[in-house]
Amino acid sequence: MSLILIADDTPEIVSLLHDMLALRGHQVAVARDGVEMIEKAKTLRPQIIVADIMMPGAYGSAAYRSLQDDPFTKNIPVVFLTAVTPEQAKAVVPDSPKVRVLHKPLDVTALFEAIAELLPPA
């Protein structure tokens, strides 16, 4: 299926997301912070990124903005997962058709729906 990059600094969330996505047939790569998210997105060019907003190194939202400045990564859609309030998320996450924001606790059905909406056609 697709290559999905998970960017999160919480090992339990990474493990859960990795297992759920792999069971659905996706290839999964992992980044532990925003800087690694940028590096892996540029080298691996995943079809989609699932990222926490608040991570060490660089917030997921800042990493996203950095990827938007690169012609090779600017079209990668992102699903942000966050524990911040909707108001706080709106302040740091760009309003874009290529972006979805899901709030924790994670609604797995909503995650799969957002991934399906954002993944490029096969």
pLDDT digits (tens, 9 = 90+) for 54-91: 887 777 888 998 999 999 999 999 999 998 888 888 88
- Sequential DSSP letters for 107-122: -HHHHHHHHHHHSPP-
Q: By C-alpha distance, which of 20, 122, 121, 3 is closest to 73?
A: 3
Taking the C-alpha atoms of residue 13 and residue 8, their distance in angstroms, rounded to an integer, is: 7
pLDDT digits (tens, 9 = 90+) for 15-30: 999 999 999 999 999 9
Q: What are 79's two structure tokens?
A: 């699903």
The dihedral region occupied by 4, where left means phi > 0, alpha psi between -120 and 50, and beta the remainder, is beta
Taking the C-alpha atoms of residue 117 and residue 8, their distance in angstroms, rounded to an integer, is: 21
Structural domains of the chain in order of their starting residue, each with its CATH number: 3-118 (3.40.50.2300)
Helices marked H in 7-93 — which ranges? 11-23, 34-44, 60-68, 86-92
Q: By C-alpha distance, which of 5, 6, 65, 59 is closest to 35?
A: 59
Q: Name the percent of the chain lying above pLDDT 70.
A: 99
What pLDDT, on a 0 to 100 scale, did the predictor assign at position 2? 93
